[in-house]
Amino acid sequence: MACALIIMKVVYTPGNVPINLGDELGRGGEAVVYAGTHPTFRAIKIYSAVPEASLVQKLHILVDLASQRLSSFCAFPLSVVLDRPGGRVIGYAMPRGEVGLRPLHQLYGPRDRKEYFPDATWKFLVHMARNLAQAVALLHETGIVVGDLNPNNILAGPRGDLFIVDVDSFQVANATKVYRCTVGMPDFLAPELIGARLDAVDRTPAHDNFVLATLIFHLLNLGRHPFQGRWKSPEEFSYEFAISDHRFAYSSSAAARGIEPPPLTLDLTRMGGACAKLFERAFVGSISTRPTAKEWVTVLEALRDNMRVCAHIGTHTYLDDGLPCPWCQLEEKGAILFNFVAAVSASTGLDVEELWRRICLVDPPPQMQAITLAAASPDSAAIRFFATRRSSLTLAVIMAALCVNIAAWSSLFSTLIPSEVLAAAILVTGFVSFLSWATGPKLSVYENRLKQSIDARDQLLLHSERNAAARFEAKRLELKVLCDVLRNFPARRAAQVAKLTARARDLQLADYLDRYSIMRAFTGRLGIGKLAILLANGIDSAKEVSYERLVVIVGIGPAIAQQLVDWRTACESKFVFDLASGVPREQLARLDGNLFLESVRVEEQVRLGTIELEKITRDAVETKALTAEAILSARYRVEKARANLRAAKRGDKG
Amino acid sequence: MAHVIDVLPFDSSEFADNPEPRCPCVLVLDVSRSMAGKPIDELNAGLLAFQDELAADTLARKRAEIAIVTFGPVKVERNFQTAEDFRAPVLTPQNDTPMGAAIDTALDLLEGRKAHYKQAGIGYYRPWIFLITDGGPTDSWQKAAQRVQAGEGRNFSFFAVAVEGANVEILRQISKRPPSMLKGTKFRELFQWLSSSLKAVSRSQTTDSVKLLNPGTPEGFGWTEIK
Ligand SMILES: Nc1ncnc2c1ncn2[C@@H]1O[C@H](COP(=O)(O)OP(=O)(O)OP(=O)(O)O)[C@@H](O)[C@H]1O
């Protein structure tokens, strides 16, 4: 019966909607979860055994309860699925958890977290705890008890998203019956359930609340179980005993119970008074004092919003309680609980984006309003200049013409005025007129004046408005480049770490292959003689095996060489690089140290640059009124000079 | 709330990195001459599969801790390591069968490990000791047997697995729990059963005590037989 269900390729909703089963997404003790090829039904859980009637009824109740809201953080059943149209229920359809989701223990366990959530800070863990509390609060509001709340069933995503799976194990009730949650994990079980048969008790929200507090504690104390501590009594450890005896290892009353917090853990006090109180109520108190999911939401939000960033390591965030960074203190004792990140802005605790944001906040220098000048009218001198020059020239020309005519007409006029006198008078007038035309102010004077005024105006503009804007832009660009340098630190670090890691991997692989002894693997497969030849040539483990090296050895033919190489390949395929012990700590520390020093220098440049940027604008604002006036008058002078020149040339009056 | 001991007596940073409760398991493996050939090959293959299966379970890989003691002569082939770090050794047949000394070594190893857990404030589940042999002890085993009897069910669970040719009579006197007979050389099935039993502490259960699969049935990988 079990096998028949697994080879199924298509399943159907009760409304006969076919859903194709895609890749396997996961598998548990009692079912396999497949991807579903339907926009709504994106994940399908198929039971290994035909579900009992009561489970089917429970699924129907869950389907009725399903809502957009619940489906957003739970793999809530959206429909039962049948093996054929009108057939029997063999599973259910649900929304699919996004890729990148990982079981909660991979988030709270430091070793896994450093690998799978490399940037997660304590603030992120608190945020996640808050989201978990919120999820449980919503389920309780809906009348659901989770029951088997545990770190396998809660999936966490890198953006703080949360997804609870195994929803068919939730406890739900209708008017006539409670559909129980029949399982639990011994380390995630309320004291009153210890020793109970879980398929024989009704679960309550209070049971969930105990486990919720336990999970929140794991998130806040980096994977530590609240009941795991140093115990003094000689008896063996057991969760059953520790939990039912309220041996909360971090409690202010822990010593009286013969237990103390484990080494290399966060003190309860560093989680804030409100949080500590809730933990005491949850773990040392009774059912009646146990905090609800809602209470946790409030307290965790307050904690999350009251954090500071360590001055030395950017991934260290902690409660802003005026005490030194607890993660640095633990690091000094040898526990590296967060990935190193070059503390890009260690001196202030600001990050690059914060620096850049500050730069963007600096207003550019004010722009001068574009005032349209009324057209300037020319000076009377310019107009007179034109008139004088014109009349002088005209007079001279007339007089010259007269002189010529007089010569011709002299006989006629000579009777009236003696012609010599007349001619002399005309000559003098004409000469004077010519003289005044030739020696009076020249047009080039007006041209020069215009040129000078334009120069003066441009000079002024350059030193004020346009210049301030240009200087501002140039400085800003410089700062942007510096910020990009800062932004690039993680990538540069990653690249250098990758280089170190590759080197470490090679070393580790060699070490690993060295453990595969040829003697051990090939005794019986190769004759003693051949083995002796190999040993004599310094080849005694998989590390030394390479085809080139082997074929040249007398007595080792290509066949044996190939056999050994295949073996080496097989050994190598089992090699798993251990990242954690990969790159030696000192190398990382040196790398981070260098990056740190450099980042401090660059950051200082950014900081000073930002101050300069602000100064450019401030200066521009302060001198704006003065400058505006000066510019206006310079522009006016240009207009005036232009009008004068025009007038002087053609007599335009503007 | 300062910690009482600030100078740590041993490096507890491995427990800071992975504070999951542990489920320690010592394999006490007979590698005497008589295991040569198919038995030791199958045992090696079984160990590799065991390594892979535990490592594939995201939670069990952090909880199950494996140590291997081989005999003869007695050798700690692997000290305790979580399944994520455990690498199966390649065992080769050696000499005689000093089973008593091997069991003693295994018990000492376990005691030492539990002391570490205690100092580091790490929880653990009842440890498992798994003796696999195809012969009878060539040394004195009575004292070891007493230790096993005294600790069984309280400090650890002791399982004896008899491979074809084992002295079942003596195994019965060592282990409180009747020894299981390995069917042929079904070492792989045996280790499959062992890994899924170890994984059980990382899974949801109906009760708080771990339920073992019946190794005589297909669900339990059917590696035992009644003789
Ligand atoms: N909706 C889903 N989207 C993506 N992955 C899922 C989804 N539901 C389940 N999974 C994956 O499948 C695995 C098994 O699912 P689930 O826990 O529901 O099965 P189970 O047989 O009830 O398991 P258990 O033995 O824990 O009760 C989960 O751990 C998870 O990795």
Between residues A647 and B2, the one the model is more confident about: A647
Is position A344 within any domain?
Answer: no
Structural domain containing residue A534: 489-583
Listed residues A43, A76, A94: the one ending a domain: A94
Choosing among A115, A153, A185, which should be mutated to test the B contact, i.e. which has the most B CBs within 10 A?
A185
In degrees and rounded to multiples of 5, residue A544 shows phi and psi of -85, -5
Two structure tokens written together for B171: 């195994």
Comparing CA positions, the residue from A236, A471, A168 lying closest to residue B151 is A236
CB-based contact, A269 to chain B, within 8 Å: yes
User: For residue A4, what pLDDT is reported?
Assistant: 43
Listed residues A47, A62, A94: the one ending a domain: A94
In terms of domains, do A506 and A412 share one?
Answer: no
Q: What would the mean pLDDT of B109-117 be, rounded to a whole number? A: 93
Question: Residue A78: CB within 6 Å of ligand 1?
Answer: no
User: For residue A138, what pLDDT is reported?
Assistant: 96
In terms of domains, do A315 and A399 share one?
Answer: no
Question: Residue A42: CB within 6 Å of ligand 1?
Answer: no
Instruction: Please name the residues in contact with A432: beta carbons below 8 A apart, sequence gap of 6 or more.
Output: none
Is position A77 within any domain?
Answer: yes
A118 secondary structure, DSSP code: T
Two structure tokens written together for A522: 């090939």
User: For residue A3, what pLDDT is reported?
Assistant: 43
Is position A358 within any domain?
Answer: no
Minimum distance, in Å, between the CA of residue A147 and any CA atom of chain B: 11
Listed residues A28, A61, A94: the one ending a domain: A94
Is position A30 within any domain?
Answer: yes
Question: Mean pLDDT score of chain B, rounded to an integer?
Answer: 86
C-alpha distances in Å from residue A588, one per residue of A201, A497, B59? 53, 8, 28
Q: Which residue is closest in CA terms to ligand 1's atom 23?
A: A28
In terms of domains, do A109 and A87 share one?
Answer: no
**DSSP string for A460-509:** HHHHTHHHHHHHHHHHHHHHHHHHHHHHTHHHHHHHHHHHHHHHHHHHHH
In terms of domains, do A275 and A208 share one?
Answer: yes
Kindly provide the ipTM of the predicted complex, given to two decimals. Answer: 0.87
Number of structural domains chain A divides into = 4
What's the CATH architecture for B19-226?
3-Layer(aba) Sandwich (3.40)
Whole-number Å distance between alpha carbons of B164 and B159: 16
What is the total residue count of chain A? Answer: 654
* SS3 state of residue B67: strand
User: For residue A650, what pLDDT is reported?
Assistant: 78
Q: Are A277 and A284 in contact (CB under 8 A)?
A: no
- Tell me: pLDDT of B1 over 50: no
Give every residue of chain A whose pLDDT is below 70, as ranges.
Answer: 1-8, 340-350, 368-374, 392-393, 395-396, 399-400, 402-423, 430, 433-434, 436-441, 462-466, 579-582, 585-586, 625, 651-654
Q: Where are the domains of chain B?
A: 19-226
Is position A484 within any domain?
Answer: no
Q: pTM higher than 0.90 for the full model? A: no
Instruction: Please name the residues in contact with A158: beta carbons below 8 A apart, sequence gap of 6 or more.
Output: A100, A117, A120
User: For residue A440, what pLDDT is reported?
Assistant: 63
A229-235: long-range contacts, CB 8 A cutoff, minimum separation 24? A229/A254, A229/A259, A229/A260, A229/A261, A229/A262, A229/B121, A230/A259, A230/A260, A230/A261, A230/A262, A230/A263, A230/B118, A230/B119, A230/B120, A230/B121, A231/A258, A231/A259, A231/B118, A231/B121, A232/A258, A232/A259, A233/A258
Contacts of B207 in chain A (CB under 8 A): 196-198
Burial class (CB in 10 A: 0-12, 13-18, 19+), A477: exposed
The verdict on a CB contact (< 8 Å) between B204 and A152 is yes
pLDDT in tens, A147-166: 999 999 999 998 889 999 99
User: For residue A323, what pLDDT is reported?
Assistant: 94
pLDDT in tens, B20-75: 999 999 999 999 988 888 888 889 888 988 988 898 899 999 999 999 999 978 99
Whole-number Å distance between alpha carbons of A492 and A599: 12
Q: Are A131 and A121 in contact (CB under 8 A)?
A: no
